[in-house]
Every structure is written in C-alpha cells, then in structure tokens.
Amino acid sequence: MSKSALLFLLIFFGGLIAAVFFLPVASFLVYQLVYFINPDDSWWSASIPGLRYSFTVVVIMILTLAVNYRNYTERAAWGDQPILKWLLAILIMYMIMLNFAIVPVLHKRFLIDFVKLIVIIFVAYKLVNTERALDACLWAYILGATYIGIVVYQTGRNSGDRVEGLGMVDTGGDSNMVAAALAPSLVILIYMAWLGNKKIKALTFFCGALIANGVVLINSRGAFLGVVLGAAFFLFYMLFSKYRRKGQRGTAIFVILAGLSGGLYVADDTFWERMQTLTLAQEDAGASGSRRTDYWRATFDVMEDYPMGVGIGGFQVVSKQYLPSSNFVNRDIGRAVHSTWFQLLGELGWPGPILFIGLLITITRLSGKTKRSLIAEGRYEAYFKMLALEGALLAYLICATFIDRSRAEILYWLILFIAIGVNVYYLQSAGQRTSQVAGAKKTKQAACASQTDIGTKRKKAI
C-alpha cells in the first residue's frame, strides 16, 4: 500500500471515529477532504478498499445529527436562517423543471446529485455551529485546495498550455472548474495570514504558493479574474476600514507586495500570453472562433421558444438550432452556455436567476447585519472574517460567470460558510439577547407578583 493511500485511510477512519465518539463536526471536515482528494480517481485508488467514501461520511453526518438533534437545533435552527429557505426554493424549482426538461433522464440524474448536495448543506449547517468549527471548515477547504495544487504541480501541463483531466468528482476533469474551486481559498488565506501566529503564517504561505501555482499552471482566465477581484475586495477593507487594528494597513501592503512578487515568480510567459486574451469576446483555444457572448445571447432566443426553460443539459441539445455552425468543432456535439447566470436561465427559465439573485441579496443583507453587530460588540477580527468570506464568494461568482457551475459543491460551501457566520456571530447572539430580555421580564414579573402577595397579606393582617 502506498503512503498516500495509507495517509488517506488514517484521515478517513480517524475522522469518522472522532465524529462518532466526541467531535461530530469532524464528519463534515472528512467530507470536505474526501471531496478534494477524490480517492476513486487517484492513482493509488487500487490500494484502498472499494468503499463509497462520500456516501459513508454523509451517513455518519446524518446519524450524528439525529442523535443530538435537539441540542443542535437550539444553536442552529433551520427555520431561523433565511439563506437556507432560498436554497430550498432553488431545489424545488429544479424538481418542478423535471416536468419541462428537454432531456428528462439527464435532468433527473443531476437533480438527484443536487438533492444530495442540499441535504449535506442543511446537515452541515447544524453541525458547524461554533466559531472554532467554522474555522476548522475553512482550514479543511484550504488544505483540500492545497492538495489539488500539489497534484497539479506533479502533473504539469499535460494538454498544451494547460492542465486537464484531474480534479474533484463534480468537475469532470475540466480545468476551468478546478481553478474556480481554488480561487476563493486564496482570499481566505489572506485573512488567515493576517491574524495567524508565525507557524500559521508559514503554513498560509506554503498553501498559498501551491494553490497560486496551481491556478497559473491551469491557466484559467476566469480564475485569475476571480482571485484578483476577490482579493482586492478584502484588501480594500483592510486598507481603508476605520475599524482596522494597529498595524493592519502595513500588513495589507505587505500582503499585496508578497502576492505580486509571488505571482510574478510563479507566472510564466505561457500564463501571461493567455491572460492577454482576457476579453469577453474571446473563447477557449480550439473553439473554432466561437464566442461566449454568442452563447449568452442564444439563451434569450431559447427562452422565446421554451419560456419554462429546457432543464439540465437541455441547452446543449438545442444549441445546434440557435448557434451558427462556426461555433462548433463537431456539429454532433452541442455547446454549453458557459455562464452560471445564463445556465440558471436556460435550466430553470426566468425563475432561476431571480431565485439566485434573491439568495445573493439575502446573503448580503444578513451579512451586513452580522458585520454591524460585530462592530457594535468590538469584535473586529470576526468582522473581517465575514468580509473575507464575502470576498471568497465574490471570487467564485466571478469565475462562475464564465463557466456552468450553478450546482457546484464549492459554490454552496461558500454560501454555507457565510450562513454559518451569520448564525454564529448574529443569530445566536440575537437569540441570547432575546432570552436574557425574556428572563429579565419574568424576573420582574415574579418580583411584582411577590410584592403584591406581601401587600395582600399585610392588608389581611390589618
């Protein structure tokens, strides 16, 4: 058995034992690592038992939740989190679309996967109900992204100027999707490097170097944009927020200089040549002159004929009718819409993007309330953590603007992390304040009742 296989089995079974006996949140941490490691597609997969690793972890997650459901509900009630309601609404819309899908077999297949993902998000929301648990999840995400960075480095550019054919189970070996999953972790790493001690800072630079190198080798323009704009969002607040700590601006400037120097070091001529083609009108190499904007405009034409949408995989089937032949290398193979926003429109009709935008508005509103609450309490480190999570989600949304990722694991993880932050830093505090107020009122009422009883007794004595 290889060392990699042995290490994976130790992490897997050790994490499950910890989840069952004393640390239930460990089950979700193991799930995150299994997602990135993707053991069934690893070169050492022949050395490990043929188990359904993700399924096994999810079963343990559900069982640990069931055992302590009442306690978890007190700290993380589903009904108190509006973000989860929007996720449920999107899921229900996908279920409704099963009646209108152009390719119902394909729609049903991916709908089942999406149902599983939403169930996992709901379960994880209850399990991850403390600040330390949230931090552990963020580190699990970073370490998983670092693992992908290592694999990309070991593989090297195996398809012209890119790395193809590796990644997580829901990416299908598509390098753009893998790079999009890596991009948000670099934004979170900035926050970790800023607040960590010397050992944490060293770890963040190690992880950051491997992840950034992975993005460069993959050569994804969307991921490059996502990293730049997501990091710029967070660093802007680090530099100019009036709630910054002493020395924070200097740290931000150091991070910028370190990032620029590190980026210039790992980025080669091939990377910069590809970044020079960074325009909306340009499509991936080998696409026979096709343009993404052609696909986006074609979505509106599809909506005229299919106002209820075409379901999952439907656009690829009908694209031959709405796109000129110059957009196809092989006319028998349809084209994807190449944008999450237009993918939602094509798959779910107009309710798709409306529901998703409603979800993002709710996230922004709740995150804003959480940040204001943290400022009022003087918890500035947590305030900047929420900003880092917002920046990470922004980075992914920018990446997803150029690829079809409406049901991506990482997208919903990032939404989950913000929902957990809202719960830990705002909803739980609000609930505690409400309980304290209610307790004070009961105490006051009891005191008044006691005084009334004393007065009554005195009158009777007189």
The pLDDT tens digits for 112-146 are: 999 999 999 999 999 999 999 999 999 999 999 99
Percent of the chain with pLDDT over 90: 60
Q: Quick one: pLDDT at residue 45?
A: 85
Smallest Cα–Cα separation from 120: which of 184, 202, 60? 60
Q: Quick one: pLDDT at residue 220?
A: 85
Q: How far apart are CA 218 and CA 216, in angstroms?
A: 5
Q: What band does 350 get if pLDDT is binned at 50, 70 and 90?
A: very high
Biggest distance spanned by C-alpha atoms of the chain: 104
Q: How far apart are CA 69 and CA 200, in angstroms?
A: 34
Mean pLDDT of 441-461: 56
Q: Quick one: pLDDT at residue 452?
A: 57
Mean pLDDT of 392-413: 95
Beta-bridge partners for 159: 162
Work out the angle at residue 150's Cα, subtended by the Cα atoms of residues 141 and 180, and round it to the nearest 5 degrees. 50
Q: How far apart are CA 51 and CA 34, in angstroms?
A: 12
Buried b / exposed e along 194-223 (16+ C-beta atoms within 10 A)? bbeeeeeeebbeebbbbbbbbbbbbbbbbb
Q: What band does 58 get if pLDDT is binned at 50, 70 and 90?
A: very high
Give tens-digit pLDDT for 165-178: 888 999 988 899 99
Q: State the number of CA atoms in the 13 A half-sphere of 413 facing the CB.
A: 25
Mean pLDDT of 52-65: 95
> Residue 198 above 90 pLDDT?
no
Check: CB of residue 233 under 8 Å from CB of residue 390.
yes
Check: CB of residue 424 under 8 Å from CB of residue 129.
yes
Q: How far apart are CA 442 and CA 462, in angstroms?
A: 30
> Residue 2 above 50 pLDDT?
yes
Q: How far apart are CA 86 and CA 81, in angstroms?
A: 10
Q: Quick one: pLDDT at residue 444?
A: 58
Q: Quick one: pLDDT at residue 287?
A: 42
> Residue 38 above 70 pLDDT?
yes
Q: What band does 437 get if pLDDT is binned at 50, 70 and 90?
A: very low
- Whole-number mean pLDDT of the chain? 86
Q: Quick one: pLDDT at residue 446?
A: 56
Q: How far, in whole angstroms, is CA 225 from its chain's centroid?
A: 17
Q: Quick one: pLDDT at residue 173?
A: 85
> Residue 439 above 70 pLDDT?
no
**In terms of C-beta density within 10 A (0-12 exposed, 13-18 middle, 19 or more buried), how is residue 456 classed?**
exposed
Q: Quick one: pLDDT at residue 379?
A: 92
More confident residue, 18 or 172: 18
Listed range (106-110, 188-192, 222-226, 246-250) with the worst mean pLDDT:
246-250
Q: Quick one: pLDDT at residue 282?
A: 44
Listed range (73-82, 91-100, 187-196, 236-245) with the worst mean pLDDT:
236-245
Residue 43, Cβ neighbours under 10 Å: how many?
11
> Residue 352 above 80 pLDDT?
yes
Q: How far apart are CA 389 and CA 92, in angstroms?
A: 27
> Residue 318 above 80 pLDDT?
yes
Listed range (99-108, 256-265, 271-280, 377-386) with the worst mean pLDDT:
271-280
Q: How far apart are CA 179 and CA 301, in angstroms?
A: 31
Show the tokens assigned to 256: 């910028």
Check: CB of residue 83 under 8 Å from CB of residue 414.
no
Q: How far apart are CA 409 and CA 163, in angstroms?
A: 21
Q: Where are the domains positioned within the chain?
A: 1-67, 79-435
Mean pLDDT of 319-324: 82
Mean pLDDT of 396-404: 94
